[in-house]
Structure 1
Amino acid sequence: MAWIAIAALALIAWAWKKGRLRAPTPAEAIAILLGIAGAASAAKGKPIIGIPLLIGAAMMLNRARRIQDRALPAMSIEEARAVLDVPADADADTIRAEHRRLIRRVHPDAGGSAALTRRVNLARDTLLGAIEQRERYRR
């Protein structure tokens, strides 16, 4: 059962190396502590205690991450222009082209992070939404 603890440490090391670790929220910290306790219990030969703790920790961590992903903060138009590096009079095609250029660099598949990808997508959505709102107002 020691392999569970080794696997957990290997996953933590991998996440740290990839730059995916950040300061945990309180719910994530509790889930991490539960996971450590579960791994330690399983490694000591008490799988009846350890495995449910590990499962509970995984479920709690998954829920905390889903909640965090849903809570996207609003972005101002000025901040969105700065993220995409577009001028104030940029049209929708320019915004989409800059978004595609930037997303190629920050996407997790290209070595970037999910947080940067969400930020770039939020900037695109903010600017395209502002353009759409302006066009509706002109009609």
Structure 2
Amino acid sequence: MGALALLLAGLAIWLIWTGRLQRMTTKDGMALGAALVGAVLAAKGKPVLGAPLLIGAALFFAKQGNQRAKMRKRQPAAPRADDDVAKARALLGLASDADASAIRAAHRRLIASVHPDKGGTEALAAQINAARDLLLDERAKGRAQP
């Protein structure tokens, strides 16, 4: 049980380090805290007190995972509008006739300066990645030229 407590503590540290903890809800944080307390109690020789906390947290996270999976299945992909493509081009600083290699080069140039490992934000890096993916998809479909 001591290994489980160390594993959960390592998970909490990893969540904080990667920034995923910022996206957690209050309920997620409370369940993670309950799991940590349960693991510590079980490691200290009180499995009767620690096991219900661990089991409750595990059930909570299993239920959350099922709900999130169902929500992903229900949400249809939004149709891509021409203004989304124009915004993506503006974000990457590309002309309307840019080819795939120009899109990738602009993405590499821009992401190098705003990557979270270089002090940038995760949200901006995600926007840049999404813009690249959108433009490459549009280019592959032959709708890149307005």
In the superposition, the TM-score normalised over structure 2's length comes to 0.56
Match of 1:59 among 59, 62, 68: 62
1:123 is matched by which residue type in structure 2?
A
Measure, in 1, the Cα distance between the counterparts of 2:51 and 2:144: 62
Cα 1:105–1:53, aligned 2, differ >3 Å: closer, same or farther? farther
Deviation by residue 1:65-110 (Cα, 9 ceiling, x = unmatched): 7678887876812321233222333232211211233345556677
What amino acid is aligned across from residue 134 of structure 1 in structure 2?
R
CA distance in 2, matches of 1:20, 1:135: 35
Query: In angstroms, what is the RMSD of aligned CA positions?
Result: 4.3
Structure number, greater radius of gyration: 2
Matched, 1:83 2:91: yes
More displaced stretch, 66-75 vs 119-128: 66-75
Name the SS for the 1:134 alignment partner.
coil
Report the AA paired with residue 56 of structure 1: L
Q: Given the alignment of the two structures, is residue 130 of structure 1 paired with residue 138 of structure 2, yes or no?
A: yes
Q: 1:112 to 1:77 in 2, by over 3 A?
A: same
Kindly indicate whether structure 1 or structure 2 has the higher relative contact order, using CA contacts under 8 Å at least 6 residues apart: 1
Question: Where in structure 2 are there 5+ consecutive unaligned residues?
Answer: none
Structure 1 residues 84-103: aligned runs within 5 Å: 84-103=92-111
> What percentage of residue pairs aligned between the two structures are identical?
31
1:3-82 to structure 2, matched below 5 A, reads: 8=8, 11-24=11-24, 28-44=25-41, 45=46, 46-60=49-63, 76-82=84-90
CA shift digits 1:41-67 (9 cap, x unpaired): 443432321221232344356557767
User: How far apart in 2 are the matches of 1:82 and 1:43?
Assistant: 52
